[in-house]
Structure formats: C-alpha cells, structure tokens
Structure 1
C-alpha cells in the first residue's frame, strides 16, 4: 500500500505546526501544509491557498487522500465581524465542494466547544448547541456544512473535534496573559477561584488529531479536554509554583470586584482608552466552563495536564 497524502489546512499555525511535527516522523504519510502564511518550520511542504478561494484550494489539494482543517481566525483587534464566517462557513463550503471534485473521502474538522455557548455544568456531546458569540455560531454553521457533505457521498468519512481552549509553548492566548500577570506580581484575583475550566494542551490535541486520522471513523463528533479540570485557584497555584513565586496575590470578592471593573469600563468609554481588564473578561474568568467526551475512545494523552502547565510556563518565562 502506498503513502496516504494528508493536507493540513492551517498547518503553519500554532496547533498545525505541532501536528505536522508529529506526522513528519511517519513513513506511511506524505504531507501538504496549506495556509495563507508560509510554514516557518516545514517550508518544504508548504502550499499557498485561501480556504475561501476554490481555485487556489483545488490546486493545493490535488492528489490528497484526507484533509485536516485547522483554519481559524486570529485573536486580535483587527479581526472583522465577517471574518469568522468567511473562514469557518465559506471555507467549509469551499472545502466540501473541492473535496467532491477531487474525490477526497476523509475530512477532520476542528470546531470548538463554543458551539455549546454558556454551560452551567460539565457538558458532553449531548449538550444543547446554543452558541453565544459569532465565533461559536460560525463553527456550528460549518459543522452543518460538513455533515451535509458526509451524507451526500458514499464512503465520505467525517470527524469533528470540539476542543476546549488550547494552550502551550509559543501561544499568546488567555493562558499566556494570565501567566504574564502572575509573573509580573501584579495579579489580582476576583472571586473565590473555585470555578473549574477545561483546558487542552497543544501537544495533546495534536496527538488526538493524529489518532482520529488513523481511525478513519465513518462519522464521529467528540469534545476534547485534558483532565482533570482544575479550579482557578489550582491553576494559579500551579503557574506560581512553576515560576518559583509564592501565591501572594490580592483577592477581591466577586461583586465588589465586578463593581470596580464596571467603573473601569465606564471610564474607558469616556476616555476611549481600552483597559486590559473588562467586565466581560472577568465574567468569563469567574465562570465554570467544563467539558467532557462521552464517546468511546482508547486515546491516552501523551502529556499530563500538570506537567503541560509547568513545561509551558518554564518555556515562556524562565
């Protein structure tokens, strides 16, 4: 049996680079990295394509047997309101059309737990799909497009992974900014810190994507989170320990803290200054956001969550 050619859309990015590194050791696979931005680590496999442009995607996917779609919008202030829809929804429609033309029979799509919206208890795949923001709504719309593709063609195989927020070395998301505030000694804790939030380490989600690629299930939807879920107090203690700091931070009860942040929001509107802290961010930080997967799986994450946190903190702040 010859090599399977695997396309990783978004393969130049944070998760994509980790995934390509894993797959690059495999003698049974040939790889294509498909992205707007050239891969800094694996330029030899890079192919330019825009997921919303059929012709560029058609050329890049020629000869591929399977596609892993990691394409996502960047979390920055320049992101337009329509960009989530363009990348997730129009990108899904374009990819499915091109897959039909090129007889590609396997697609793995990374969605998000944002499709569930606000959850009040640990939520599995049977949870209600009530996305609360445009990102979650765009991911849910994309899922429906991929599901239609799967039903429309005999032999089409679809796996949808809904990861919790992903962290790791080199990312500049919420976890990194939390660590940076703790490292600076200027961290203020609002609330009791007993709420739990699910997380996923980048190496583990990459390993899970490799696992589902090999399984080639006809159809599967699963959440992904590294367990056990930590309370915010436990997370902060783990970060502080990795930094070699004692957990001596200012703790403010929830409601007084929220009142103070609301005043900051008001001051920001008047002065047109954007503060690093906001009411929406504090509400999200203090909320419970726990997810689990109830489907059968023999996957074992290669890195324990506590070690992943330690490795990430030491890499970024040593």
Structure 2
C-alpha cells in the first residue's frame, strides 16, 4: 500500500512520516509530496530531516497532481498541505493554496480510486469568541485562513459523499506543539525563559492545544489501525482545554523553568509590541500575536476523549517529552 502525505515536509508531516516509517510493512511505500524539501527554505534545518525509505517528490498542490506511482486498494492520503501562518501571508494566498489544494487532492484521489483521506483543518473556522465550541457549533470564520479551511473541509466532504464506502476524517487541532514546531509554544517557552513574557490583560484565557505525537497517534488510530467509513470531524485538543496560566505553570514545572509572570494591561502590550516588532521580529514580538493571546480558543475535546482513542500523554507529560527531545538535539 501507499501512504501519500501532501505537505509532508512540514512540522506535523515530519512526525507523521517518522511514525509510519516505524510501523509500515516491507512492501509499503511512503510518499512525501511537498513544494519544499527537507532542509530547504521554509523548513527548519537540522530538525526536519529526510527519512530513509521515503520517496520525496516536489509538487505544488495548487496545480493538477501527476506523479508516477502504482495505486493499491488500501492507499491512504494525508492532506496536510496548507498556507497557515497568521500574520505572514496575503489573503489570496490562503484561498489559492488551501482551496485549490483540496480540489486537486480530492480529484487525484478520485482518479486513482483512493478511498481514505485524512484532512488537517483548523480551529480557525469557528471564528474568534469566548464561547465553548464543539464539532456541532456553527462555524463563523472571520479570517481568510479560517474561511479557506472551512471551504476545504466542504470540498473533502463532497468527495466522500460521492461514495458511501469512502473514509474521511477531518481533524481540527488546537495549537500543536513538539519538536520542530518553532511557533506559539516555542515562543512562549523562550519568552518565559527570557523573562519577557507577560499575561496580556488576563490569566484565564483558554488556549486549546495538543502535543504533536498525540495528534499523529490519533491519526494512526483513525486511518491505519481502524476503518471508519463515512465522514467525521474531531477537535484535537486536551480535554478540557487549559487556561494560559495552567499552560505556563505546566511548562515551567515540566522543563525546570521559573519565572514570576506579571499581568499587564493588554492595550499597553499591543502598543509596545507595535513599537518593538520591527526590532524584535525574530523573538516573535508582533501586535497581532498579542491580540491573539487576549482571545480564548475555547475548544471542546470531549468527542475525541470519548471516541475510543486512549491518550498517551497528559499536558505535563507532553511538555516533559518535548523538552527531552529538544534537549537531546540542543534545540533549547
């Protein structure tokens, strides 16, 4: 069988490939299909490395997809390809990649009679609000990224609805962290360590998150270990989602940090970030990021918790495991 991983050179894709490489059968093939290859610009050098036994193929999901492989009846597509960082892209870029990519990947699946797709969406389709959001909550996206991800979900659902034997799992992860992430959680760790992190106006902001190893284990459970015909959506987050104060305390406890974190007026922090961002961009200082810290991502993970899947890590355990992985590589 073939494991076809679109966007496989990225953070989640690298962990997924590593996991599949450890469990695949001798005749199985792994294809990493991405616009960039490991070690190139856009991929963190020294963290994302090429795995033995993986076929790396450069392609652009915005274009019709063609490459040489022999399809089998058990093939699985993992669609991780996306433009996702906010801020960082023009509005049209989210639509161009995320929507066209969904169309071209589902067309590719149809032409090659592939009946299993895992699509990594986002919690962004829910929109920004303090209310608790479950998989049945009406999506009200308010950013180009969130809108593009919701449309991409619908494109995948249309593909599945054409044949009741097809399997589609859509995951909506909270903040995903782990070795190689270099995003929100890494910035948080570095800010606490450097004593320049402040609670933005409040300590009770809810921030849904999940460890990358947990996410790929759930993907394995849904797509490799079991068969679930039909279409289903899962919020992927620890349940219940934690406050930023809980997250900071857990991170400090698990990694040996200590910092007394003050709570500072949010408007003042935005003002200061606007002034300092041109000089401290490498440290992740940006007014839009401060604004995001002030709004909860209050995502319910109860459906995942009750799905039959057994979690491998608690929040404390995941931070400890992440820190140990990075410490071995000298990344922290």
Shorter-chain TM range is 0.7 to 0.9
Retained in 1: the 8 A contact 2:241–2:300? no
Residues 67 and 110 of structure 1: CA distance in aligned 2, closer, same or farther (over 3 Å): same
Residue equivalent to 1:35? 34
Residues 81 and 291 of structure 1: CA distance in aligned 2, closer, same or farther (over 3 Å): same
Q: Quote the offset at 1:112 in angstroms.
A: 0.7
Retained in 1: the 8 A contact 2:76–2:114? yes
Q: What are the equivalent positions in structure 2 for 1:88-167 lying under 5 Å apart? A: 88-153=98-163, 155-167=165-177
Equivalences, count: 307
RMSD of aligned alpha carbons: 2.5
Q: Quote the offset at 1:154 in angstroms.
A: 5.1
C-alpha distance in 1, partners of 2:219/2:21?
A: 14
Asked if 1:247 corresponds to 2:255, the answer is no
Query: Higher mean Cα deviation, 148-157 or 132-141?
Result: 148-157
C-alpha distance in 2, partners of 1:79/1:7?
A: 27
Residue equivalent to 2:13? 16
Residue equivalent to 2:4? 7
TM-score (norm: length of structure 1): 0.86
TM-score (norm: length of structure 2): 0.83
Residues 304 and 263 of structure 1: CA distance in aligned 2, closer, same or farther (over 3 Å): closer
C-alpha distance in 1, partners of 2:302/2:239?
A: 13
Asked if 1:231 corresponds to 2:239, the answer is no
Q: Partner of 2:130: helix, strand, or coil?
A: coil
C-alpha distance in 2, partners of 1:94/1:283?
A: 35
1:233-268 deviation digits (Å, cap 9, x = unpaired): 12112223344333323332xxxx233235446757
Q: Partner of 2:16: helix, strand, or coil?
A: helix
Structure 2 portions without partners, runs of 5+:
39-48
Retained in 2: the 8 A contact 1:72–1:87? yes
Retained in 2: the 8 A contact 1:7–1:61? no
Residue equivalent to 1:209? 219
Match of 1:53 among 63, 72, 77: 63
Residue equivalent to 1:286? 294
C-alpha distance in 2, partners of 1:184/1:274?
A: 13
Which structure dedicates a bigger proportion of its chain to helix?
Answer: 1
Rg comparison, structure with higher value: 1
Q: Quote the offset at 1:74 in angstroms.
A: 5.4
1:18-69 deviation digits (Å, cap 9, x = unpaired): 1111111224443221112224222642122211221xx2215652522011
C-alpha distance in 2, partners of 1:130/1:223?
A: 16
Q: Partner of 1:11: helix, strand, or coil?
A: coil
C-alpha distance in 1, partners of 2:175/2:279?
A: 28
Residues 194 and 73 of structure 1: CA distance in aligned 2, closer, same or farther (over 3 Å): same
Residue equivalent to 2:94? 84
